Chain A
Amino acid sequence: MRELGAEIAHDYADREPILVGSLKASFVFLADLSRAMPILHGLDFVELAGYGSAQMGGHEQIRVLKDLDADIRDRDVIVVEDVVDTGLTLHYLVRTFELRKPRSIAAVTLLDRPYRRLVDDLPVRYVGFVVPDELFVGYGFDLEERWRQLADLRLVHS
């Protein structure tokens, strides 16, 4: 975390980026990352309805459950993801944010599974760990909305 925070702080020195956490699983990572970045920066959150939950509710197009509070025009936006897998969620977020004319958009993810990408034109500039095809809980990650509170990331054995 210190390395990621220092790297981002170095790249954004003399700027004031805004970290945008993609809820829910990224909230712990974002909290730690923010405290590891020794530069001024803003914080905001966004939440999208996941495909599964949307299907249960009958939606056929993606829906924003919580939009940004901040105006990101001319800001340096850093999207904070828990994991980038297919890239579909991040792809949607980036396209949506680009319409608001930010100065730049980058993404940081705690975990990455690049071998599962369906879309690859993504601005993933900072990666914590490339992980194998395993399921994790804790540190904000859930299994059916449980175990997010665990302090550490743990592997689920099925």
Chain B
Amino acid sequence: MALEIPDFQVYRGTEPPRFASQAELECAKVLDYYGVPWEYEPTTFVLEEDENGRVLEAFAPDFYLPDQDLYVEITLMKQSLVTRKNRKLRKLRERYPDVRIKLFYKRDIERLAQHFNLDLAPS
């Protein structure tokens, strides 16, 4: 079922965001509520190419906060299953050392949900 997208106040993207999960939507709503400008998946970082320049691996963090110059990736995977995502982040940091990115794990999101009374259940 499609997520119901509200009218965002401080969304800075050009295309309407298409969230992959309820958790992403809820995070966007919190950012918007507190007036922190945000974009959704504005940048895809190439992590690996073959010798012909074809992209073998890429990574598009969920959010970009332009005022903070910070990318935010959220994951609801169990801690034991985030190895692949951690590896991507490590690659991104190696290849783009000036890019600031923060990963919010399942536990962080659950804490946020508790604090902000978020509904993380899939719709």
Contacts and interface: CB of A to CB of B under 8 A. Distances in A.
24 contacts: A50-B117, A51-B29, A51-B30, A51-B116, A51-B117, A52-B115, A52-B117, A55-B29, A56-B117, A60-B7, A60-B32, A61-B33, A61-B35, A86-B112, A88-B30, A88-B34, A92-B34, A92-B35, A95-B35, A117-B102, A118-B68, A118-B70, A119-B65, A121-B67
A55 B117 contact: yes
B72 A118 contact: yes
Nearest to B36: A119
Contacts of B25: none
Interface residues of A, number: 25
Contacts, number: 64
B9 A60 contact: yes
Contacts of A52: 115-118
A89 interface: yes
B107 A91 contact: no
Interface string A102-138: 0000000000000011111100000000000101000
A118 to B, nearest CB: 7
A61 to B, nearest CB: 6
Nearest to B112: A86
Contact of A61 (B9, B67, B114): B9
Contacts of A62: 33-35
Interface in B74-123: 102, 107-108, 111-112, 114-118
Nearest to A63: B33
Given A88-B30, A119-B36, A53 B117 contact: yes
Given A61-B35, A121-B67, 8 more contacts: A51-B116, A52-B115, A56-B117, A60-B33, A62-B34, A62-B35, A91-B34, A121-B68
B102 to A, nearest CB: 8
B60 interface: no
Contact of B36 (A56, A85, A118): A118
Determine which residue in B30, B33, B116 has the highest number of CB atoms from chain A within 10 A of its CB, and name it: B33
